[in-house]
Amino acid sequence: MATFSKRNYKWCVQIRKSNHPNISKTFTHKKDAQQWANEIERKIDQGLILELSHPDYETLSQILERYKNEITISKRGGHIEAYRLAKIMRDPIAEIKLSQLSAMHIADYRDRRLKEVSACSVVKEMTLISLSLDIARKEWGVPLRSNVVRDVKKPKPERGRDRRLSSEEHTLLLRSCSKSSNHWLTPLIIIAIETGMRRGELLSLAWEDVDLDLRVAHLDMTKNGSSRNVPLSSEAINLLRSLPHDISGNVFPLTAAALRGLWNRACRRAGITDLHFHDLRHEATSRFFEKGLNVMEVATITGHKDLRMLQRYTHLRAEDLAKKLG
C-alpha cells in the first residue's frame, strides 16, 4: 500500500508490502508520485521486484544527498551542516555500496579524518552519517540491516579550547584586516570581540534588530533555540553608527564561506597561527569576566543556558589576577 506525505514542498511516497522492504521516493508533483507508486506496486504484484534492495539508493552518497536536501535544509544553521555533508560526500566512503558498508569502513574513515581535522569534527561527521542511515532505514524504507556507525567507537573530543588573543595579536589582526579588500571584515571582528556573539548570529544580524538608542542587539533565534538581547558597549555603538547600510538589510552582508576565506587570509597576513573565529567568542567572554561581571551577567550576554559551560571561559590571565591581588 502506498502512502503520500508532503515535506518541504515535495511529495514523498512510501510503499509497504508484506515480505518486501519498504520503498520510498520523493517527487515535486503528486501526480508523478502516484504514477511511480502504481508502477512499483504493479511490479511487486507481478513478482518483478524480489530482491531486498532499493531502486534509488545504492551508495552512501545518495543517502547523504537526500538527507541534505530534505532534512538539513530545514535546520537552523543548516548551511554549516550542508558544508560538512559535502565534505563527507567527496570522501571515497560516500561511493561504497550500502549493501557492502561495514563498521570497518566507518572506522577507516574515522582514522583517516583524525589525521586531517579535530576529533570534535570527526565526531560531528560520524553523527551525521549515523543520522542519515537511521532516517533512511526508518522513514525512507531503505533495507539496511543495522546502523554500522553505532558499532564504531567515536574519538574522544579534545578538551575545550582556551585560546586567548594576546594584545600584540589583537593589533596585528586588526592591522591585517584593514588591508583586506572587504571593508566588512574589520568591523565584524571588533563587534565579535565586543559582544561575544557567535559567527552565525553576527552574519544573520539585521539592522532592524539593532537599537542604537537602547544600545541593544536583538537576536531572534540563537543556537540554543531562544532569543536574547545583547547589550552593546560604547565602542560597539560608535562603530555601528559609522557603518553604511547594505541593501540586504544585514549589518554584515557576508556568507559563512566568504568570511572563512577572509579570516584565513587575514590570519596568514598577520602571522597568527591556531586562531579560530570562534576563539573571538572565548576572548570576549573572558574579557567580560575580567571587567568584573558575574556568571549570571555574562550568561545573559552570551546566551549560555548551562552555566557550567562558562567554566572553560574563565581562563583569566594569571598576570591580571596577580594585579588584583595586590
Catalytic residue among 278, 291, 305, 317: 278
Catalytic residue among 164, 304, 312, 315: 304
* CA atoms within 13 A of residue 241's CA, in its CB half-sphere: 10
Residue 179 falls in the annotated catalytic set? no
Residue 75 falls in the annotated catalytic set? no
- CA–CA gap between residue 5 and residue 3 (Å, rounded): 7
What torsion do the CA atoms of 171, 172, 178, 184 make, to the nearest 10 degrees?
-80
Buried b (16+ CB within 10 A) or exposed e, 54-90: beebebbbbbbbbbbebbbeeeeeebebbebbebbbe
The grid coordinates listed for 74 are: 530545514
Catalytic residue among 163, 223, 305, 317: 223
Contact assessment for residue 225 and residue 210, using Cβ atoms and an 8 Å cutoff: no
Catalytic residue among 66, 137, 281, 282: 281
Residue 304 falls in the annotated catalytic set? yes
Catalytic residue among 25, 68, 198, 282: 198
Q: Is 251 exposed, middle or buried (0-12, 13-18, 19+ CB in 10 A)?
A: buried
Helix axes 78-89, 256-270, angle to 10 degrees: 80
- CA–CA gap between residue 294 and residue 296 (Å, rounded): 6
Residue 313 falls in the annotated catalytic set? yes
Residue 278 falls in the annotated catalytic set? yes
* Nearest Cα to Cα of residue 83 among 64, 106, 96: 64
Residue 223 falls in the annotated catalytic set? yes
- CA–CA gap between residue 60 and residue 95 (Å, rounded): 6
Catalytic residues: 198, 223, 278, 281, 304, 313
